[in-house]
Structure 1
Amino acid sequence: MSEETLNGAAAPAEQPAGPVFTVEKIYVKDVSFEAPNSPHVFNENVQPQLQLNLNQRVQRLAETVFEVVLGVTLTCKAEERTVYLAEVEQAGLFQLAGFEPQALDAMLGVHCPNILFPYARQMVSDLIQAGGFPPFLLQPINFEALYAESLRQRMAQQQGEQSPLAGTDAAGNA
């Protein structure tokens, strides 16, 4: 390819117009499965209770490269005994450039977890099935709603810290 010239001078290399988002790598960072009460739990006929915990971490690795880790912990209990515990940390390296700070925060808090979730869901399902339990498929997660809730909590916390009455009760007592 030859360089284009503009009035005898080399044209500057074209910069992408607008923000840039690329998925560099998706990988499992950590995985764990425990069935502490097997094989006895296989013979029990009780209704299990499931508890799902999600968490997310973001780490900036370079100016435009971020590692996003989506943690999924699924605990299955029968009465007070743990049937199984599946933990997955699904991670990805993402390049994000040209975003305003608010848009960057939203991309890291909504778009990246949306990309990682299907991989984490499949890993959790595979672990549970490999543990000898019936297949389990996590339902879709609305990361936009979770992100909006976290924004509300951050704003409320910031307003509480900035209030001159922070740390006092309704009567102004400390």
Structure 2
Amino acid sequence: MSSLGGIHLLGTLLEGVNYRTRPRYQLKDVTGQQEMQMNFNTSHLKLDDENRYKVSLVTSLVFTEEKTAPFVLEVVISGIFALQGEYDADDMAVVLNVNCPSLLLPYSREMVSNLTLRSEYGVITLPSVNFMQLYQARKKAEAAKENAESVSPAQ
């Protein structure tokens, strides 16, 4: 077990915004409720030997029926984090894939709300996200993929 230290957010960066309305979107063509999914992806990059990392959170709003989607929205927020203390590999993975993205979510939520507030479709407020659950699901999917690849016969 490692001795956990501090996680310091040194600054945030808005690295990308993609907001496009669909030119042929017509509300009259939509039947029923529009199904929308919120996708969250994370990545990280070690910046130096001082335990500084750049962690990025990509937030995408994806409509189930792409043809009737009123808009496309993706926001990329990154943070520069300084980690203090000693972390073993498992703890470091949790910090970079769970803790840091959790600290970035309010910045992404604000950007999504501001962009959609100014649209004709109404404001969208991102809900709370359980990044631990997302991380565990991703690890499980990666393990299943590795297991399937090791079991499949060579051709």
TM-score by length of 1: 0.74
Aligned partner of 2:152 in structure 1 is: 167
Aligned residues, how many?
150
Greater RCO (CA < 8 Å, at least 6 residues apart): 2
1:108 is paired with a residue whose SS is helix
Of all paired residues, the percent bearing the same amino acid is 23
Aligned partner of 1:102 in structure 2 is: 90
Q: Which runs of 5+ in 1 are unaligned?
A: 1-16
Distance 2:146 2:62 in 1: 33
Q: Would you say the 8 A contact 2:43–2:97 is kept in 1? A: no
Match of 1:155 among 140, 143, 151: 143
Say whether 1:54 aligns with 2:40: yes
Q: Would you say the 8 A contact 1:57–1:70 is kept in 2? A: yes
2:70 is paired with a residue whose SS is strand
**How big is each residue's C-alpha offset from its partner over 1:51-110, in whole Å with a ceiling of 9 and x where there is no partner?**
322211111111211111100111346672230111100110011242122111100011
1:131 is paired with a residue whose SS is coil
Say whether 1:30 aligns with 2:12: no
**How big is each residue's C-alpha offset from its partner over 1:135-155, in whole Å with a ceiling of 9 and x where there is no partner?**
111221110111122222333
Say whether 1:93 aligns with 2:62: no
Aligned partner of 1:69 in structure 2 is: 56
Q: Provide the aligned C-alpha RMSD in A.
A: 2.5
Whichever of the two has the greater Rg, that structure is 1
Taking a change above 3 Å as real, the CA distance of residues 62 and 121 of structure 1, as seen in their structure-2 partners, is same
